[in-house]
Amino acid sequence: MGEKDVRRFDTEQRRVFTNKILRDVEALEQMLASGAIESGVRRIGVEQEMFLVDENWHPASKAIEVLERVDDPRVTHELALFNLEFNLDPIPFGGGCLRRLEAELASLLETVEQAAAEVGARIVLTGILPTLQKSDLTLENMTPEERYFALSAALDHLRGGTYKFYLKGVDELLVEHETMMLEAANTSFQVHFQVGAAEFARLYNIALVAAAPALAVAAGSPLLFGKRLWRETRIALFQQSIDTRSARPDMRDIKPRVHFGTHWVEDSVLEIFREDISRFRVLIGAEIEEDPLEELRQGRVPSLKALQLHNSTVYRWNRPCYGISDGKPHLRIESRVLASGPTPLDEVANAAFWFGLVSALAHEERDVRDGMDFDDALGNFVAAARLGLDSHLMWLDVDHTQSARRLVLERILPLAREGLRAGEVDEEDIERYLGIIEERVASKQTPAQWMLRSLARMKERGSLPERLNALTAAIADRAQTGQPVHRWPLAEFHEAGDWKPSYQRIEQYMTTDLITVGEDEPIDLVARLMDWHRIHHIPVEDERHRLLGLVSHRSLLRFLASGGRGEEEAPTPVSDVMQRELITVQPDTPTLEAIELMKDNRIGCLPVTAKGRLVGIVTEHDFLRVAGLLLEQRLRE
């Protein structure tokens, strides 16, 4: 976010800061009118986000310790203590820019990896870490910087309640979270393309068109909490994690802070800044002494810090950026759609594809608005996020959808080659990086597909946490080979390593697909449910999923043995039989603690609750199942 003294303001301070934003916009208007914005120059840049993991492939909250060992101002912290980010210096577009980009990425990554190794951590490049769990996304894991806490407090205030997430793919995820920390589940590889002021609107619209095919070929985040969701789950997750809207009884249309856009840009970058200032309240601010209009009068270039800070809290998937290079103000388009990883080579190939496509369409005389409706560009983006290469997309001057894979191979990839050639990128580099995209698309093995195929192959082995460990270990280890993802062999179960980390906490293996009853239902229903599903414990909950009691197989037998059943006209309610005084555990309860609780209290079941609501159950049969899996695994070894 740039400023170090960023914080949440009171009402009066917010008014003052809003006025500073308006003065920044006025200064930008003057610079655009006078031709002060640099033009005729193409630079590219990238931002690399990453996860830190421990020896068990789980998130490692060691960002501060790593940063203490990295002597490079380009490397900085992110929202969570298990994330890091670095920004490469801008590079002129053309010549050997792509191989230079890869070399600088690899070099800085090596520096960070060495520092991480000193504190017992490793780097993993992936859009969403497979081993990430909800218990990792707490405020305790938020980087202790005032700007993050200020942003979190501001979003919580606007949201007015908990954050609810719903995603559906092969599996379904419906989860509620107290904070914005689910944003930290996402890491991206953001690419920047410098453009002139006069051409900004045209190239921004081109970037909107290019977003979907770039997303389709690079999709790399199919998993969240072990659920198979979208090919690029980051897209939906990020929007919902920063969504300040609450459910309303009326028909008012309120825009999310994370969005693709609502229409083409007509004339200028000012349209975007004005719209975002109009629609989205100031969340955080900083004490800024600069008067941008006075800076212009003195012949200096204003930093427009207030405008930049507000812009950093509105998350367009193609974000306009203002900056200063070599004393000259410039504009950039930042594409935020690409997931991190899985290798620097894959990332640069993805970037080359996007740079080339934008460059090619920029060199064409026609306006992309004449060849595609905005709603089709938006529909393409959502389709590519959901299904990746399996999606069907509209394309320029085509009146029907086509397979994304076919479109890329037959039409879009040749365009990207033309665009890189038009930018005078070295032919050898064009073939190297776009050749990787071509092979990946032809083989249908995007990072997302590799993960899903790997999981499917391991389906009958061990537990889901072990398979996710194996997947994460394989991502980290295969990245070290330097081979792009489409050449990777699938992950193997044995790569999970030690079994212990997969069973340390109750949430890793508890049953969440629960059979429950209400307290007013007949006890006969409980007996049938136990018989049908071969279970020995049925929790009793209310309509809000608050735990009220538990009926065990033993308590049911005692009830029946005592002659209790009730007449057919007046069957006995569950409330008459259920146990009300229960021992419960939290999802993050250590397994050993849970085992001791069951032994000491001679019980065969522990309901798992979070804030009074039933979220799972663990029974003695779960421990027997785990023991059986481990015994079988060891005997096979």
Q: What is the DSSP track for 456-481? A: HHTTTSS-HHHHHHHHHHHHHHHHTT
pLDDT of 125 reads 98
Could you say which DSSP state residue 141 is in? Answer: G
Handedness of CA 142, 145, 146, 148 (dihedral sign): negative
Closest CA to 129 of 80, 172, 180: 80
Sign of CA dihedral 240, 245, 247, 251: negative
Task: Spell out the alpha helix ranges (H) of 398-515.
Answer: 404-407, 413-422, 427-443, 447-457, 464-479
Listed in sequence order, the DSSP H helices in 242-373 are 270-279, 292-297, 305-311, 344-363
pTM of the model: 0.86
Residue 188: beta bridge partners?
339
Q: Find the distance separating the first CA and the last CA of the chain, reported in whole Å.
A: 51
Q: Which two tokens stand for residue 573?
A: 């309610």
Tell me how many degrees the CA angle 34-39-41 measures, rounded to the nearest 5.
Answer: 160
Q: Are 351 and 57 a contacting pair, CB within 8 Å?
A: no
Dihedral angle over CA of 600, 601, 605, 608, nearest 10 = -90
Profile the chain (637 residues) by mean pLDDT over runs of 10 residues. Answer: 59 88 97 96 97 95 97 95 97 98 97 97 97 91 91 80 83 84 94 97 98 98 96 91 58 76 96 94 88 96 96 94 95 98 98 98 94 96 97 93 96 97 98 98 98 93 88 96 97 82 79 90 90 91 91 85 64 90 90 89 90 88 70 64
Q: Which amino acid is it at 377?
A: A
Q: How far apart are CA 363 and CA 209, in angstroms?
A: 15
Indicate the helix (H) or strand (E) that contains 335. Answer: strand 328-335
- Report helix, strand or coil for 176: strand
Distance of CA 231 to the CA centre of its chain: 11
Q: Is 124 helix (H, G, I), strand (E, B) or coil?
A: strand
Element of type H or E holding 592? helix 591-601
Which amino acid makes up residue 239? Q
Cα diameter, the chain: 95
**Where in the chain do CATH 3.10.580.10 domains reside?**
506-636
Superfamily of domain covering 506-636: CBS-domain (3.10.580.10)
Query: CATH for 37-261+317-443, among 3.10.20.30, 3.30.590.20, 3.40.50.300, 3.40.190.10?
Result: 3.30.590.20
List every span in the chain annotated with CATH 3.30.590.20.
37-261+317-443
Q: Identify the three-state secondary structure at position 389.
A: helix
Q: Which residues pair with 92 in a beta bridge?
A: 43
Classify residue 498 as exposed, middle or buried by CB count within 10 Å of its CB (0-12, 13-18, 19+). exposed
pLDDT of residue 303: 97
Compute φ and ψ for 165, nearest 5 degrees.
Answer: -120, 130
User: What is the per-residue pLDDT for 362?
Assistant: 96
Are 308 and 286 contacting, i.e. CB atoms less than 8 angstroms apart?
Answer: no
**DSSP secondary structure of 199-255:** THHHHHHHHHHHHHHHHHHH--B-EETTEE--TBHHHHHHHHHT------SS-----
Angstrom distance (rounded) from CA 447 to CA 231: 9
Q: Is the dihedral of CA 138, 77, 236, 262 positive or negative?
A: positive
What is the C-alpha to C-alpha distance for residues 341 and 280, in angstroms, rounded to an integer? 31
